[in-house]
Amino acid sequence: MDNKENTPDISAFLASAIHDMKNSISVLMRFLDDNITKLEPEAQHEAAPMLYEVQRVNDNLLQMLAIYKVGNQFYPFDLTENSIGEFVREVAEQNKSLLSYLNIKLDIDCDEDLYWYFDHELVVGVIAHALNNASHYTKDKLRLVAKEEGGELVIRVEDNGRGYPGQVLDAGDAVNKGVDFASGSTGLGLYFSSMVAKLHQNRDKIGSMQLENGGTYGGGCFILRLP
């Protein structure tokens, strides 16, 4: 008689727990967003880092759920035609409160007449996270660009901070470097963004993600390319 118990699927338990945590974090995020507006301007600026951290945790939970679903081949990849103008405005609106509290100006440069096929929810997640991350490192300006270049949709998030350190400029190395306990970085955001990019394919072209320094403001640049 085999007394060995069946090993439970721990990943399914984790996915369920992550989903519950995400729901709780979403409630907290809405509460903070609604109530920070009731504070004096100086207090709003001091409370903004709390909203940033809550949004960052929410982003991470959403990314983990998406990675789990893609890895288990039941993510409902939804390739639809999107208005780039509407897409950019939607992402900007998601980050409007945080940027306002931090006194960060967001400049937008996009082709209003451009339409592109991609998974709306995944790409919104990538760019919203990139803006949220850039808000932590910029001085006072961000730039969101979305245009067609060489037959690809190129979306850029640029800041006027000090730029990415040398060890993370190689996107491939950054995605695979694992956990950095000194900095607290898990590489999750880069892994998620790279995964989303590669899910988008058109004939012989595959989407890509890269990091660089420079751009219009001379700081860090997050770049997503979709065929």
Query: Residue 182 has what pLDDT?
Result: 39
The domains of the chain are located at 10-226
Query: Residue 9 has what pLDDT?
Result: 66
Query: Residue 48 has what pLDDT?
Result: 86
* Topology of the domain comprising 10-226: Heat Shock Protein 90 (3.30.565)
Query: Residue 171 has what pLDDT?
Result: 47
pLDDT digits (tens, 9 = 90+) for 68-88: 889 888 889 999 999 999 999
For the beta carbon of residue 70, count every other beta carbon within 10 angstroms: 16
Query: Residue 81 has what pLDDT?
Result: 97
Query: Residue 129 has what pLDDT?
Result: 92
Mark the ranges of the chain whose per-residue pLDDT is less than 50. 1, 3, 171-174, 176-184
Query: Residue 170 has what pLDDT?
Result: 62
Query: Residue 142 has what pLDDT?
Result: 98
Single-letter code of the amino acid located at 51: L
The whole model's pTM is what?
A: 0.84
